[in-house]
Amino acid sequence: MLELLHEVTGKEVIKETLEKRSVELALLEDVYITWKYVGRDFSAEKVKRLKEVVEEVENTTREAAD
Please tell me the predicted confidence (pLDDT) of residue 65: 83
Q: pTM to 2 decimals?
A: 0.76
Q: How far is the C-alpha of 54 from the C-alpha of 38, rounded, in Å? A: 22
pLDDT value, residue 64: 85
Is residue 17 within 8 A of residue 57, CB to CB? The reply is: yes
For every one of its 66 residues, what pLDDT tens digit does the chain have, with 9 covering 90 and above? 888 888 998 999 999 999 999 999 998 888 888 877 887 788 899 889 899 999 999 999 998 887
d(CA 66, CA 58): 13
- Give how many domains the chain has, as a whole number: 1
Tell me the residue range of the domain where 28 lies: 2-65
Distance CA 7, CA 14 (A): 10
